[in-house]
Amino acid sequence: DGGITQSPKYLFRKEGQNVTLSCEQNLNHDAMYWYRQDPGQGLRLIYYSQIVNDFQKGDIAEGYSVSREKKESFPLTVTSAQKNPTAFYLCASSIGRDSYEQYFGPGTRLTVT
Amino acid sequence: DQQVKQNSPSLSVQEGRISILNCDYTNSMFDYFLWYKKYPAEGPTFLISISSIKDKNEDGRFTVFLNKSAKHLSLHIVPSQPGDSAVYFCAASGSTGNQFYFGTGTSLTVIP
């Protein structure tokens, strides 16, 4: 069954700790994306990657880092520099350039106290 | 600055009637528009799309209308069903499709 997996569904961390959110896809998609959703707001793009070993900053990349060592994996690290890390994080993928439809994972709700 | 706006946070409609969800955008370079449906604690799922060369796209009960001069698009659901109750996001992208801008969502409740 093809799809996008994000784990865990809920994550709790203490302030000052880095935390890595997992995103895996078996759709053979070239492009992958990380979004953040806050209450009453739309999805905001953190980072995206069109191909392996390449990624670009989105609108709110500060305090986050990513890697794309494998086509199927695009982990997101929320660093201690991110001032408001508590949010719902969504990973998505698409076939690649010129493909507009994005497929989303179930999301990870991160709570930092 | 919000480039894609959904000014109605919520909408309630009787089952069987039409649901109309609206979306406005500010960037005239946007070329492609999508609607996503989202249930609580789940990721959004793609619903329907439209490119700027069209003014209407239909898929079953769902129709999206695009008015480029007004920078406005709308999603019509006819007839509305209780299972349509969800949050609907519109999204827009330029021609490269690298970056999408999402609206804040409209929560639709279809009353049986």
Is residue B4 less than 8 Å (CB to CB) from chain A? yes
- Mutating which of A102, A103, A109, A110 best tests the B interface, going by the most B Cβ atoms within 10 A? A102
Say yes or no for a CB contact (<8 Å) between B49 and A42. Answer: no
8 Å CB contact between B10 and B109: yes
Number of alpha carbons in the 13 Å side-chain half-sphere of residue A6: 27
- pLDDT tens, per residue, chain A with 113 residues: 669 999 899 999 999 899 999 999 999 999 999 999 998 788 999 999 999 999 999 989 999 999 999 999 999 999 988 889 999 999 999 987 667 788 999 999 999 99
Strands (DSSP E) along A1-113, which ranges?
A: 4-7, 10-13, 19-25, 31-37, 43-51, 54-57, 64-66, 76-78, 87-94, 103-104, 108-112
pLDDT value at position B1?
67
Euclidean distance between the first and the last CA atom of chain B, given in angstroms as a whole number: 38
For B38-48, what is each residue's pLDDT tens digit? 998 788 999 99
**Rounded mean pLDDT of B29-53?**
91
pLDDT over 90 at B24, yes or no = yes
Nearest CA-CA partner of A43 in B34, B70, B62: B34
CA dist B4 and B11 (Å) reads 18
Number of alpha carbons in the 13 Å side-chain half-sphere of residue B12: 2
